[in-house]
């Protein structure tokens, strides 16, 4: 697996294009397992459409399943933000993900952006 990191001022997920995507994410650490709805994804991380009961900074293993992706994507990440106001959810930055998984995510994001541009035209 390849390591991906962002600076303290610019998290890694902001360095990559992202797109809304439906799907489910299995999130687990040594003690907890959650299944959450996928909100959006990039090659640098993802946003879950629900708050997982893990504190910011928790390292987690992820399995992302979406009809847009042919196979599930596995990664290791860190919970970097929890939103409890308007948009409830949890943001996770990938800390370890294969380059093949990143390429698959990038292709899905590009396809989603292309679909949105065609709809708007």
Higher-pLDDT residue of 94, 11: 94
Residue 74, helix vs strand vs coil: strand
Per-residue model confidence as pLDDT tens digits over 14-56:
589 999 999 999 999 989 999 999 999 999 999 999 888 899 9
DSSP string, 101-113: HHHHHHHHHHHHH
Per-residue model confidence as pLDDT tens digits over 69-115:
989 999 999 999 999 888 899 999 999 999 999 999 999 999 998 98
Domains delineated in the chain: 2-120 (2.40.10.220)
Give me Rg for the CA atoms of the chain. Answer: 14
Q: Which residues are bridge partners to 60 per DSSP?
A: 77
Asked if 69 contacts 108 with a C-beta cutoff of 8 angstroms, the reply is yes
pLDDT band at 10; cut points 50, 70, 90: very low
Q: How far is CA 86 from the centre of its chain?
A: 19
């Amino acid at each position: 697996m390849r390591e991906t990191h962002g600076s303290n001022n610019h998290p890694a997920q902001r360095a990559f294009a992202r797109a809304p995507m439906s799907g489910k994410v299995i999130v687990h650490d040594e003690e907890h397992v959650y299944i959450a709805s996928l909100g959006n994804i990039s090659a640098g991380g993802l946003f879950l459409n629900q708050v997982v009961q893990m504190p910011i900074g928790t390292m987690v293993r992820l399995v992302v399943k979406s009809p847009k992706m042919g196979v599930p994507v596995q990664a290791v990440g860190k919970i970097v933000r929890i939103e409890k106001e308007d948009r409830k959810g949890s943001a996770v930055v990938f800390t370890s993900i294969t380059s093949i998984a990143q390429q698959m995510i990038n292709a899905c994001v590009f396809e989603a952006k292309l679909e949105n541009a065609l709809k708007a035209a």
